[in-house]
Amino acid sequence: MNNYLDGFDRKEVTLSVLYSAEKGKTVSMVKDFTVEASSDGDDFIGVCTNSENNSASVLLSGYVRVSYTGEAPACGYNKLTADGAGGVKKDTNGRAILVTDVDEADMTCGIIL
């Protein structure tokens, strides 16, 4: 049997973008109904799934693959924050997020928000 997590508990919202937000990269809240690309160490709210015309669709819940920097997260719950490059990093000050799979060669991991 193949594993398939896309679509699990998927919830998205559309928000305004202050400066920039790129598809596949983490975003953080900056003011009412407004996000921007996450900075290093930010508690990101989700991952941008589309961005155009000063708006972004943001995945708040569900499975997504993201890049990571630094030490590879382990499968299971890890404390993660944004790495400032659109991905995530392990950080004892981060929030616990479920990591379902890790590809150390590509430096990506699957997470459930």
pLDDT (tens digit per residue) in 33-77: 999 999 999 999 999 999 999 999 999 999 999 999 999 999 999
Instruction: Say yes or no to pLDDT of 1 above 70.
Output: no
Domain boundaries, the chain: 11-60, 64-112
pTM value > 0.85: yes
pLDDT confidence of residue 53: 92
Q: HEC string of the chain? A: CCCCCCCCCCEEEEEEECCCCCCCCEEEEEECCEEEECCCCCCCCEEEEEEECCEEEEEEECEEEEEECCCCCCCEEEEEEECCCCCEEECCCCEEEEEEEEECCCCEEEEEC
If you average pLDDT over every residue of the chain, what do you get?
96
Instruction: Say yes or no to pLDDT of 108 above 90.
Output: yes
pLDDT confidence of residue 8: 86
